[in-house]
Structure 1
């Protein structure tokens, strides 16, 4: 989800077009982050350039920076939900675009599947 501080013009909108991000300052995850890669590929495919304000590997620091008005970010909704619920940051959707990542659970085919491991698999699927 796109996050902005409550005072940002995007905070009053439910959705924005990707083109509205052009030249906006962003606080990004480190290179190699799956969320960052997905976001950058989406922007590249629409010829949109953002300003990289800061790069950080800590989701907590990124959320704090957005809360303090240092820039925008795209981050997992799960990581941002608490701050959004508190009104400290605002989540904004993209018109006609959904940034969704898929995850795979991989294990050796000969692995003995204990009841605990099967329970873990089930919980992963729920998430």
Structure 2
């Protein structure tokens, strides 16, 4: 580029004040520096922009034609500078989420962010907790939303919100009318569970401490909806996040089974690479997640 934004600023200040000294003062420049900048832009294009009458500068026809274009360009540059200084532009945000969060929570946050910032591009990939953690480590995604705990020296794992798992069955299941399940019933049941490596399975295994070796796992499935359908078909009982089950409980298509002596509470987490710059998009995404639920 054969001109600088500083040269354009000098040109516009000179056009406004019609005096190089006043133009220099407005830009906190020396008179000689301002005069040199103005002469440089004129000489580079062999295009005088002013008629010089003593110490007075008066725009000529070429100067009048260029002035509005220069004003527009400077304003665009200032706006870009403000955006970069304040980090307001979300840009392209790559989010990864575990199945429960991706299917039941993240989409509404995406919609809210894109409505708030129409130019933002938000992509969402869904996988289990261990896979999301690996994607964050590989910088394939900017931020992960996970159901299970991860420990890695390069990851920041930040608590987001509370959640709980719920044991459930079909209305026709023999346990459906139980006020609460005993450990004996937990061991007698046939279970349909998430796969190992998922945050849901991690929380389930922790809750079943002491009886886990005796739990009868009939099916392991990777999708919450598949587990709900299998349980609804009375193939066994399941255990998923309450977030994924609320609608089915309201309809009566699935029945919650209280297990008060077992702790099914857990947390959802944000996960970010420690070396990842936390852009405006990442920070705003976290704000929206925290305020929405």
Which band: TM-score by shorter chain? 0.7 to 0.9
Q: Return the TM-score normalized by structure 1.
A: 0.82
Out of 75, 95, 104, the residue aligned to residue 240 of structure 2 is: 75
- Based on CA coordinates, which of the two structures has the bigger radius of gyration? 2
Matches within 5 A, 1:67-106: 67-106=232-271
Structure 1 residues 120 and 93, CA, compared in 2 at 3 Å: closer, same or farther? farther
Q: Which has the higher strand share?
A: 2
Paired with 1:29 and 1:36, the residues of 2 have a C-alpha distance of 6
Determine the C-alpha separation between the residues in 1 that align with 2:275 and 2:181.
Answer: 44
SS at match of 1:22: helix
Give the structure with the larger helix fraction.
Answer: 2
Tell me how far 1:57 sits from its aligned partner: 0.4
Cα pair distance change 1:112/1:32, threshold 3 Å: closer
Equivalent-residue separation in structure 1 for 2:229 and 2:288 (angstroms): 29
Equivalent residue of 1:11, what SS? coil
When the two chains are superposed, the root-mean-square deviation of aligned CA atoms in Å is 2.3
Unaligned runs of 5+ in 1: none
TM-score of the superposed pair, with normalisation by structure 2: 0.39
Deviation readout 1:74-122 (Å, 9 max, x if unpaired): 11111111111111111122122231222322334773442x5444213
The aligned length equals 126
Distance in 2, matches of 1:69 and 1:20, equals 16
Residue ranges of structure 2 left out of the alignment (5+ in a row): 1-165
Against the structure 1 CA distance between its residues 4 and 95, is the aligned structure 2 distance closer, same or farther, given a 3 Å change threshold? same
Larger RCO: 1 or 2 (CA < 8 Å, sep 6+): 1
Per the alignment, do residues 48 and 12 of structure 1 end up closer, same or farther by CA in structure 2, a change over 3 Å counting?
farther
